[in-house]
Homo-oligomer: A and B are copies of this chain.
Amino acid sequence: MSDTPDSAVRDAVTSGFPRFLDELREWLRIPSVSADPERAADVDRSARWLAESLRRTGFPTVEVWETEGLPAVFAHWPAAEADAPTVLVYGHHDVQPAERGDGWQSDPFQPTEREGRLFARGAADDKGQVYFHTLGVTAHLAATGRTAPAVGLKLLIEGEEESGSPHFPALVRAHAGRLECDAALISDTGMWAADTPTVCTGMRGLIDCQIDLSGPAQDIHSGSFGGAVPNPAEAAATLAAALHDDRRRVTVSGFYDGIVELTEEERRLFAELPFDEAAWLRTAHSGATLGEEGYSTLERIWARPTAEVNGIGGGYQGPGGKTIVPATAQLKLSFRTVAGQDQEKIQQSLREWVAATLPTGVRYELTFWGATRPCLTPLDHPALRSLVRAMGRAFEQPIRFTREGGSGPAADLQDILGVPVLFLGISIPSDGWHAPDEKVEIDLLRKGAEAAAYLWEELGAHPRPATARRPTTPGP
């Protein structure tokens, strides 16, 4: 399949690795938290840092694309051959909020190496996985002796993924011409385990929202008024508690309408994975499983739609007691969706559900922070097969299949650009995405760069394979 010996790629990755790691550390020091308006300048700085670095890597075209929110970075390195396919790599340079006081062993924005792991907010999600592509393309060129990659290489690295990518669809639509490609490659997911490399075939979607509730115009004495007026903190609780029925199914009307159910083959493949529930619970830092009746844990997190209370707050939260009826409360909810669900209909149903579930006398405001669609690519797609071969060369092992429970704007690329979506991710479950002590396994960053280098070669050997077959775009 390939003329280049794997050792040439491996050597090139090894020789470039120290510099790669130094640069990644520098990028991780920028606290590009997209959810926090006070960090907007840092997200901007992060975009400009990446653009400069991509120019140094050799990309002839590098641009910072402004949005109505936070900026994305676009880069393009055309292939040498005219009939070579073009791949658009997607990732994000924004990160989740993090404070040392949340339980971090070291400052989340001062990358720290311990036992072969690099600890920092964004180490795995997603700066580490974006940045190995700079080493990947460098190694691809060095190993093959090329001056341009075997595929047309485009990068689109957005700055609002952790905020639900509110402006991403508009950005992709606005630049659809320049983003034209034969496949999109998402580097923002994970593998089963360091010793069990896998390729992901789909991601769940996300709808997240906040409900702000108001009762009394100010906190009032619970002895004088309690038990006679509506309490917004109890109302927030009423909503959160009503989300699931006794079978742990989401109660929002029509929530399960139209979903692409798991096939028997998929259920069998999932069941064959070396899943150790006790080990998984340790990774989840949890003591028990709880989820939708009739489905395994893997099915629940990969292929079933879910609802989660991300935050609830109202009334007195300081030390001791305070006998009040609180004036306000808030509830942050998010929903993971799967292929076939209609996100717009679910948002409308959610509006109706909130109105119908709340007690009278409590006023509310429902705000959607954004919605990300789910996506799914069939197991037998030729571009997916190329990716599986590239991963197999990097890991020297058979590659298995998973899905990703998390969400990303993969489906926007699939829907707007009309291309299949592939996933090249080397993060593992213990990396602690969104949690304190997020880290990345340093050796897997190396494997990621290798796999990318092989992938450009594999895809270049199959001129424009992706256009031969369109992905199954599931659902509406």
Residues on A facing B (Cβ under 8 Å): 34-37, 96-97, 102-103, 163-164, 190, 204, 206, 208-210, 215-231, 233-234, 236-244, 281, 284-292, 297, 300-301, 304, 306-327, 329-330, 332, 334, 336, 359-361, 363, 369-370, 404-407, 429, 432-437
Contacts and interface: CB of A to CB of B under 8 A. Distances in A.
B332 A236 contact: no
A323 B306 contact: no
Nearest to A125: B221
B323 A206 contact: yes
A35 B324 CA distance: 13
A133 to B, nearest CB: 22
Copies in the assembly, this chain: 2
A317 B437 CA distance: 20
8 contacts: A36-B320, A96-B322, A206-B223, A217-B286, A221-B406, A221-B433, A290-B359, A320-B369
A308 B237 CA distance: 12
A239 B236 CA distance: 12
A227 B292 CA distance: 7
Nearest to A238: B241
A156 to B, nearest CB: 21
A320 B40 CA distance: 13
Given A241-B238, A288-B360, A405 B318 contact: no
A314 B316 contact: no
Nearest to A248: B227
Contact of A312 (B237, B300, B307, B308): B237
B321 A219 contact: no
- Ranked 8 nearest A-B pairs via Cβ: A227-B306, A223-B406, A288-B361, A237-B240, A311-B315, A241-B241, A35-B320, A217-B285
